[in-house]
Structure 1
Amino acid sequence: MEKEMAMERLVLAKIANGDEQAFAILYKFYRNKVYGYALKILQSTPAAQEIVQEVFIKLWLKRVELVEIANFGGFLRVIVRNHTLNALKKIALQQKNYTLLHQNQTEVDTATENSIQYRETKKLLDDAIETLPPQQKLVYSLCHVDGLKQKDVASKLNISPLTVKVHLREAVKAIRIYLDQHHEIKTLGLLLFFLK
């Protein structure tokens, strides 16, 4: 793990200096993870491929800043999630425009509907997190909201990495059960879950 982190830091430093081969290594390592997440949410191969392009173009354009990032995996997850959510909003807007142009039916404000559904789903996830015991809630928040790695959470809380892993596993299990009980918006609940 330490060796992998050292290698990642070295690759990021090379990229910051404009090394295209180092960037190719980073791309090869992370592209399938980015693609898989985007495909799961967007359900569209072209849209997922576009997310991969956008994310890696952004990384290249901001390459100088990469050496300052303490947790690249967490940083990348946030970028991918934001690009995917933006793509979802764009798809919703395109669907709305298509409806307005090609159908003489009652207008459906897809963007508003998605916004309401997003807020409801976010509230449901927040409610699920609130039901967790304090330590599970803290570990889950540090890992999935703040983007810290499990070993960093263990160090921060002065507990063993195994304890962090157990708390995280139990938290995710409890949240999934909570979401299953509210299955009518379970699909969008997965959108907020970045549990890989």
Structure 2
Amino acid sequence: MPNYYYNIQEGELLAQVANGNEKAFEMLINRFSDILGAYIFKLTHSKEITEEIVQDVFLKIWNARHTLPAVTNFQAWLYIVSKNQAISALRKVIRERAGKELISHNLWSEEDNSWEDEKLSAIEMAIAHLPPQQKKVFMLSRHEGLSYKEIAAQMHISTETVKKYLQIANQSIIAEVSGAISTGLLIAILKNF
């Protein structure tokens, strides 16, 4: 690979990737895969899941490369995309583990596959019952992956208020759903919801 790709500025590199330049995309992967891998590993604590997520993130980037010129801070954008991908992967792992746990304890029959849907519906219902501000903070945090600071700026409230709303929202959801799901599993699901 020519030195040109190593010395190219991020904006130009993204523009070249957006135009379908595979060498530029390879350089983008070389520049960011280790940083991204370290970040994802902190979230997943699994080398296997981390590798899968990193590959999925770069595949998504390539498939949506036409949107790259609009990205002003690629590394921050990359972290948001990868965090969302990690959350999805962790949800899948939690669901699989919860299902295996139930099967191993003979708590459901092969015909009863509604457990997962019932539990997720219970959580979604509990979220729907939250007061509007708490619900908005919860959704911005869990679904959008925004930081306390980003949520505070968007909602024009302090980061301490964001933290408090999120804490109260989690407690409310746990209280409402605690009879249907074990507390440990519920906390794990909420962290990655």
> Measured at CA, do residues 188 and 65 of structure 1 come closer, stay the same or move farther in structure 2, by a change above 3 Å?
farther
Q: TM-score normalised to the size of structure 1?
A: 0.57
Deviations 1:101-147 (A, max 9, x none): xxxxxx946xx72xx23312211221332443432222111221233
Equivalence map 1:54-133=2 (5 Å): 54-68=56-70, 72=77, 73-82=79-88, 108=110, 113=113, 116-133=114-131
Work out the number of aligned pairs and report it.
Answer: 164
Aligned AA (1:57): L
> Measured at CA, do residues 153 and 12 of structure 1 come closer, stay the same or move farther in structure 2, by a change above 3 Å?
farther
Q: Which of the residues 134, 137, 141 maps onto 1:136?
A: 134
**Contact 1:139–1:167 at 8 Å: present in 2 too?**
yes
| TM superposition shift of 1:181 | 4.7
Partner of 1:171: 169
Cα root mean square deviation, aligned: 4.0
**Contact 1:139–1:153 at 8 Å: present in 2 too?**
yes
Q: Which of the residues 48, 51, 59 maps onto 1:49?
A: 51
> Measured at CA, do residues 86 and 125 of structure 1 come closer, stay the same or move farther in structure 2, by a change above 3 Å?
closer
**Contact 1:122–1:192 at 8 Å: present in 2 too?**
no
Structure 1: runs of 5 or more not aligned: 1-9, 96-106
Q: TM-score normalised to the size of structure 2?
A: 0.58
Looking at structure 1, the residues matched to 71 and 175 of structure 2 have their Cα atoms a distance apart, in angstroms, of 34
Looking at structure 1, the residues matched to 119 and 68 of structure 2 have their Cα atoms a distance apart, in angstroms, of 32
